[in-house]
Amino acid sequence: MDIPNLSFEFFPPKTPEGAVKLRTARQQLYAYRPKFCSVTFGAGGSTQEGTLMTVREIAAEGMAAAPHLSCIGASYDSVRALLQGYRAEGIRRIVALRGDLPSGYGIGGEFHHARDLVEFIRAETGDWFHIEVAAYHETHPQARSPQEDLRHFIEKMRAGADSAITQYFFNSDAYFRFIDEVGAAGMSVPIVPGIMPITNASQLLRFSDVCGAEVPRWIRLRLQSFGDDRASILAFGREVVADLCDQLLAGGAPGLHIYTLNHAAPALDLLQDLGGR
Ligand code: FAD
């Protein structure tokens, strides 16, 4: 199966060994001809150099690279400089985010929400960048209500975003409902599902609790029941995520954005499963 709008997400490696491993992983994943590969940006700009270096490598490998850019705590000048740098490197796509500052940082900065960043990028660089934003179709954890969150998402799109990538999830109902609601508000933008392969159960369950991603009860219970049996976790997770992607693509999802966590194997397994169906 040829998946339109396939993309992979990486984080900037912290060590030279990590960088070597990531290069190998990327080469394996490129076989699936992704539309772009994105690179995360640590809260408060903590990975700024690493993001830039990884983006440069991807571009040098002949692949479209999309740096993430989170604006919370940043100044107009610092974001302007980053945008100019990316533009000079020939980068044409940016994932524009608010980001989350670690507690104790205070809010500060000149941007408050991702919408401010989208507006700033458009004002500074016109149509140079294709702007991706984040979508929380199961509702962002800090949102006052689902309705307000949806309204803010639509405002963010109207500010000039071209497309969106969702937080990861395991239940397609909320995704399709969100697509309908955004459509009913008169927006027809691609909202690509973010897909998290299941490899480490305890980490996934812990992380999901804080980042606005629901793990359905039946999946949680099954994962917990496997204990340390990694082979069973991997086999079950592979089946669940492949079924989810099948449902999404069959229901008209415009593509898949895979959170690789810098590992090729889980994404390759998934794509192989989808190809074989
Ligand atoms: P926003 O769109 O600003 O929304 C954040 C909250 O503010 C929501 O509750 C929203 O309802 C509310 N809000 C929005 N506008 C207004 C308004 N005008 N008035 C009042 N409330 C408002 N984080 C990183 O630090 N680095 C990364 O590289 C990174 N990559 C990500 C990639 C993807 C695909 C996704 C889905 C998330 C990523 N994140 C990353 C996490 C993201 O930065 C956080 O989840 C953050 O809390 C929200 O970001 P946002 O861009 O959705 O924010």
User: Can you give the pLDDT at residue 100?
Assistant: 86
Ligand 1 atom closest to residue 149's alpha carbon, by position in its atom list: 11
Q: Is 116 in the pocket of ligand 1 (CB under 6 A)?
A: no
- Select from 109, 130, 108, 101 the least CA-distant residue to 38: 130
User: Can you give the pLDDT at residue 106?
Assistant: 58
Reply yes or no on whether 9 is catalytic. yes
Angle between helices 16-29 and 48-60 (to 10 degrees): 40
Q: Which residues on adjacent β-strands are paired with residue 191?
A: 164
pTM for the whole thing?
0.97
Of 36, 39, 41, 113, which is best to mutate to test ligand 1, by the most ligand atoms within 8 angstroms of its C-beta? 113
Assigned token pair, 250: 């069959």
Residue-range definition of the domain harbouring residue 13: 6-275
Of 11, 97, 157, 260, which is best to mutate to test ligand 1, by the most ligand atoms within 8 angstroms of its C-beta? 97
- With contact defined as beta carbons under 8 Å apart, do 159 and 142 qualify? no
Contacts of 7 (CB under 8 A, 6+ apart): 34, 35, 36, 37, 38, 66, 165, 192, 255, 256, 257, 258
The answer to whether residue 81 sits within a structural domain is yes
Residue nearest to atom 52 of ligand 1 (CA): 134
Ligand 1 atom closest to residue 39's alpha carbon, by position in its atom list: 28
User: Can you give the pLDDT at residue 47?
Assistant: 81
Domain tally, the chain: 1
Q: Could you tell me the distance, in angstroms and rounded to a whole number, from the CA of residue 275 to the centre of ligand 1?
A: 33
The answer to whether residue 179 sits within a structural domain is yes
CATH number (domain holding residue 175): 3.20.20.220
- With contact defined as beta carbons under 8 Å apart, do 75 and 132 qualify? no
CA–CA separation, 72 and 110 (whole Å): 8
Q: Is 71 in the pocket of ligand 1 (CB under 6 A)?
A: no
Find the catalytic residue in 9, 57, 119, 138.
Answer: 9
Q: Could you tell me the distance, in angstroms and rounded to a whole number, from the CA of residue 244 to the centre of ligand 1?
A: 24
Residue nearest to atom 16 of ligand 1 (CA): 152
**DSSP string across 205-264:** HHHHHHTT----HHHHHHHHHTTT-HHHHHHHHHHHHHHHHHHHHHTT---EEEE-TT-S
Buried b (16+ CB within 10 A) or exposed e, 146-160: beebbebbbebbebb
Q: Is 97 in the pocket of ligand 1 (CB under 6 A)?
A: yes
The answer to whether residue 214 sits within a structural domain is yes
The answer to whether residue 199 sits within a structural domain is yes
The answer to whether residue 51 sits within a structural domain is yes
The answer to whether residue 1 sits within a structural domain is no
pLDDT block averages, 10 residues each, the chain of length 277: 90 96 98 97 82 97 98 94 96 96 69 97 98 97 96 98 98 97 95 97 91 93 96 97 97 98 97 82
pLDDT, tens digit, 9 for 90 and up, residues 27-60: 999 999 999 999 999 877 778 899 999 999 999 9
Strands 93-97 and 163-168: unpaired
Helix/strand/coil for 73: coil
pLDDT, tens digit, 9 for 90 and up, residues 147-158: 999 999 999 999
Ligand 1 atom closest to residue 99's alpha carbon, by position in its atom list: 43
- Select from 77, 20, 17, 21 the least CA-distant residue to 45: 77
